[in-house]
């Protein structure tokens, strides 16, 4: 039987057990002192998700200029700035990362509240770009930029008269310009593609994103396919992410649902490409449930041999030399029938007449310019031109001397 002193000691130890454990943690890790309140007091923590449910609609309406559904487009980052003060205050946090808000918190909220958010006009920052062949037009893959590109008129109507000396057929978009898009899963190959003139030699538009395809990219390729683009060739790393990028590019997501089937073609890298080119692989550490990853790979078209390989190793596009990559792309173009685009006879005839019109305009302008130059050379100038310039500048000191000369001559001609 324990003495009163022993029983008292046991009681004290039982009561202070949690405190003793906490103190031992603090001795091992000084940062545990800061978490003492959380460890010893049970209370309901408000998460960013909880707080977003309370403030997201108000933040959107504030940014979009009010109204039941908002009257102006709102960027995701604008909504973040409007919501952030409430989110931080409600959660007691000091930092809200913009990537977490724009890529996770806001999309999750939109997916959860489909009816409430119906009609919300949210635009997302550009992540990648599309470049047309020959025209120099480059389209950042952001919501607003893609809308503007698709809304612009194709520009292939025959003008009544033009003195535009540009011999290119006026286009904007794929019509009469390109019918193939080369999509590369990562940015950085643009200088190589430009040096090899891939876009111009094959009349293809080139497109790249940072990792997974964004909503703007999906919307763009679907609209382009409606306007005559018959091939979207996808070039990716030979790894789990590469298969996911291809497999999800044409698939519905919580933020975008396709209305039509787009013509996606996987051009690799695949295992047979790696073996044929003798490319160097690198080991990978697969986290999580590999069986689920393997099932995803099968759904995205990977073979059994490829799945076995990818369980331990991967191969990047960067494993190819520049020459290998250019040759690889050209071989895939040949395999899938990519060649120079020549439009129908009506478009060719239309442009031929446009060039003739420009030639006649150039000839007429040259003849007029010659007569005007002779006239100007024979014209008499004021004998006191310098004095007039000095006087004019004294009266108008903010002008330059050449602007003063132009003004004096203009006034002289008007008399």
Flag whether pLDDT at 402 surpasses 70. Answer: yes
Give the strand pairing for 122-123 and 74-75. Answer: parallel
Region 310-324: what's the mean pLDDT? 91
Looking at 97, 123, 149, which one is the last position of a domain? Answer: 123
Domain, as residue range, for 359: 344-379
**In a shared domain, residues 160 and 234:** yes
Sheet holding 138-140, edge to edge: 138-140, 128-131, 205-209, 180-184, 231-235, 264-266
**In a shared domain, residues 24 and 72:** no
What's the confidence (pLDDT) of residue 297? 93
Region 344-368: what's the mean pLDDT? 90
- Of 10 and 346, the structure prediction assigns the larger pLDDT to 346
Alpha-carbon distance 51 to 120, whole Å?
19
**In a shared domain, residues 392 and 323:** no
- Of 25 and 111, the structure prediction assigns the larger pLDDT to 111
Alpha-carbon distance 15 to 8, whole Å?
11
Place of tokens 């690799």: 268
Please count the other Cβ atoms lying within 10 Å of the Cβ belonging to residue 124: 21
**In a shared domain, residues 369 and 230:** no
Residue range 271-289, pLDDT digits in tens:
999 999 999 899 988 888 8
What's the confidence (pLDDT) of residue 169? 87
What's the confidence (pLDDT) of residue 202? 96
Give residue 159's pLDDT band: very low, low, confident or very high (50, 70, 90).
Answer: very low
Distance from CA of residue 42 to its chain's centroid?
45
Structure tokens at 136: 């120099």
Flag whether pLDDT at 30 surpasses 70. Answer: no
Place of tokens 């538009």: 205
Flag whether pLDDT at 178 surpasses 90. Answer: yes
What's the confidence (pLDDT) of residue 118? 83
**In a shared domain, residues 203 and 312:** yes
What's the confidence (pLDDT) of residue 212? 65
CA dihedral 162, 168, 171, 174 (to 10 degrees): 170
**In a shared domain, residues 248 and 396:** no
- Of 55 and 162, the structure prediction assigns the larger pLDDT to 55
Return the bridge partners of 208, or none: 129, 184
Looking at 104, 123, 142, which one is the last position of a domain? Answer: 123
Q: What is the pTM of this model?
A: 0.68
Looking at 123, 148, 164, which one is the last position of a domain? Answer: 123
Number of domains composing the chain: 5
**In a shared domain, residues 194 and 285:** yes
Structure tokens at 108: 């999750």
Give residue 313's pLDDT band: very low, low, confident or very high (50, 70, 90).
Answer: very high
**In a shared domain, residues 9 and 136:** no
Task: With beta carbons less than 8 A apart as the criterion, state whether 215 and 252 touch.
Answer: no
Alpha-carbon distance 196 to 202, whole Å?
11
* Torsion 389-392-397-402 (CA) sign: negative
Alpha-carbon distance 18 to 21, whole Å?
5
Flag whether pLDDT at 353 surpasses 70. Answer: yes
- Of 125 and 394, the structure prediction assigns the larger pLDDT to 394
What's the confidence (pLDDT) of residue 161? 47
* Torsion 216-129-81-94 (CA) sign: positive
What's the confidence (pLDDT) of residue 91? 92
| Helix 215-226 and helix 143-151, axial crossing angle in degrees, nearest 10 | 10
The helix or strand, by DSSP H or E, that contains position 284, with its residue range, turns out to be none
Alpha-carbon distance 92 to 47, whole Å?
9
- Lowest mean per-residue pLDDT among 18-27, 287-296, 401-410: 18-27
What's the confidence (pLDDT) of residue 288? 82
CA nearest 141: which of 233, 189, 205?
A: 205
Mark out the alpha helices in 278-318 (DSSP H runs): 290-299, 304-310
Residue range 60-114, pLDDT digits in tens:
888 887 655 556 778 888 889 889 999 999 999 988 988 899 888 998 898 888 8
Alpha-carbon distance 284 to 239, whole Å?
9
Region 152-169: what's the mean pLDDT? 61
**In a shared domain, residues 166 and 213:** yes
Region 236-251: what's the mean pLDDT? 90
What's the confidence (pLDDT) of residue 133? 95
Flag whether pLDDT at 160 surpasses 80. Answer: no
Q: Transcribe 219-257 into DSSP letters.
A: HHHHHHHHTT--EEEEE--BSHHHHHHHHHHTS--SS--
Structure tokens at 261: 């089937």
**In a shared domain, residues 18 and 72:** no
Region 373-397: what's the mean pLDDT? 93
Domain with residue 165: its CATH number is: 3.40.1360.10
Task: Please give the mean pLDDT across all residues of the chain.
Answer: 85
**In a shared domain, residues 166 and 311:** yes
Task: With beta carbons less than 8 A apart as the criterion, state whether 131 and 205 touch.
Answer: yes
**In a shared domain, residues 149 and 119:** no
């Amino acid at each position: 039987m324990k003495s009163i002193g022993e029983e008292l000691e046991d009681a004290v130890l039982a009561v202070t057990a949690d405190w003793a454990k906490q103190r031992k943690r603090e001795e091992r890790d000084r940062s545990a002192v800061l978490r003492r309140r959380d460890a010893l007091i049970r209370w309901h923590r408000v998460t960013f998700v909880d707080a977003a449910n309370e403030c997201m609609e108000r933040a959107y309406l504030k940014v979009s200029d009010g109204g039941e559904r908002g009257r102006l487009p709102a960027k995701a980052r604008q909504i973040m700035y409007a919501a952030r003060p409430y989110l931080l205050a409600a959660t007691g946090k000091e930092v809200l990362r913009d990537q977490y808000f724009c890529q996770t918190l806001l999309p999750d909220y939109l997916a959860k509240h489909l009816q409430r958010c119906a009609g919300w006009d949210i635009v997302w920052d550009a992540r990648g770009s599309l470049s047309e062949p020959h025209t120099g037009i480059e389209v950042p893959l952001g919501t607003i930029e893609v809308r503007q590109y698709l809304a612009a008129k194709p520009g292939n109507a025959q003008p009544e008269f033009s003195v535009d000396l540009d011999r290119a057929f006026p286009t904007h978009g794929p019509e009469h310009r390109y019918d193939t898009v080369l999509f590369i899963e990562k940015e950085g190959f643009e200088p190589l593609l430009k040096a090899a003139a891939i876009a111009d030699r094959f009349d293809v538009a080139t497109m790249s994103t940072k990792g997974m395809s964004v909503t703007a990219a999906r919307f763009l390729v679907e609209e382009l396919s409606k306007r005559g683009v018959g091939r979207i060739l996808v070039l990716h790393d030979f790894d789990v992410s590469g298969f996911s990028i291809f497999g999800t590019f044409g698939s519905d997501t919580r933020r975008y649902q396709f209305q039509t089937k787009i013509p996606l073609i996987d051009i690799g890298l695949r295992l047979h490409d790696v073996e044929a080119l003798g490319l160097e692989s690198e080991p990978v550490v697969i986290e999580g449930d590999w069986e689920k990853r393997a099932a995803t790979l099968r759904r995205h078209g990977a073979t059994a041999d490829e799945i076995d390989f990818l369980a331990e190793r991967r191969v990047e596009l960067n494993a190819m030399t520049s020459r290998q990559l250019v040759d690889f792309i050209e071989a895939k173009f040949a395999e899938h029938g990519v060649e120079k685009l020549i439009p129908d006879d009506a478009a060719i005839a239309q442009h031929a007449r446009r060039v003739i019109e420009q030639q006649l305009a150039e000839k007429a302008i040259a003849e007029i310019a010659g007569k005007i130059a002779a006239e100007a050379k024979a014209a008499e100038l004021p004998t006191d031109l310098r004095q007039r310039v000095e006087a004019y500048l004294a009266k108008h000191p903010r002008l330059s001397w050449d602007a003063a000369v132009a003004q004096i001559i203009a006034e002289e001609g008007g008399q």
